[in-house]
Amino acid sequence: MKVHKTILYSDQALNVEGRGSRKFKGLAGCGRWAAAFLLACILSGLLGPTARGADESKNKLEFLIARNQVNDPFFRHSVVVILPTTGTVLIVGLIINKPTHMTIGKLFPDSPELKARTDEAFFGGPVDVHTPSIVFESASVPENAPKLYGHVYLTFDPDLISRSFQSPSSNFRPRLFLGRAQWAPGQLQNEIRRGGWYRLQAEGDLIFSSKPEDLWPRLHARAAPSKYIQYRLPPGSVPVPRQKISAM
């Protein structure tokens, strides 16, 4: 499967040809690499059955919100959902608010399953940008697709991605990502300590937002501490009226 030469996201252009572009001869063609990655993830506990810190009763997940001082072109004004973990040393996530401005069909013109898709693909992060993943809703529990929350699942398995698009259910609403974000042990904690990220528990359905451009300002406003501290008077206290001060 051939992929379009450039993926556009935000104001950046990312070249996805060159070394590794052979993985897109077909989704099944990248199966050996993706299956090996998936198996390694399962064995290491990277993709666990439930998300750490996820409140399933409220369908909430953990998000990272880039702070204003982040200037890295990949992560500036980004919102990253943290993927399920079960104690692995790696922290893995998907950037959810950077559409590529390319339809899935244009990115995968040689794929019978994908060439007719008109929905946008999303830039998931700078690690393994040639590797697709999808987040999707399913009434039944699919194989090789750990649950994120509720009936929403994640998979890197190219065969499952193909099958999902071949026989979509009536409520099939996939979001396809290229690449992922990934941090080594201690790396993310250091970035948070240096003021790079806010951490926020938020609704998992934000992944499917129809207005991804609004996600960062909305969530940044929720996560950032207020500039003003409001004080409450003790019960029975009488507020002191403000006095006008005349200029001398």
For residue range 59-80, list pLDDT tens digits in order: 789 999 999 999 999 999 999 9
Q: What is the pLDDT of residues 29-64, one digit of tens each?
A: 444 444 434 434 543 344 444 444 444 445 789 999
User: Within the chain, which residues score under 50 in pLDDT?
Assistant: 1-40, 42-57, 229, 244-248
pLDDT of residue 10: 41
Give the residue extent of every domain in the chain.
6-223
pLDDT of residue 112: 84
pLDDT of residue 62: 95
Model pTM score? 0.73
pLDDT of residue 77: 98
Q: Does CATH place domain 6-223 in 3.30.390.10? A: no
Cα distances (angstroms) measured from residue 229 to each of 118, 225, 241 = 47, 9, 19
Phi-psi region of 179 (alpha: psi -120 to 50; beta: other; left: phi over 0): left
For residue 47, how many other CB atoms are within 10 A of its CB? 23
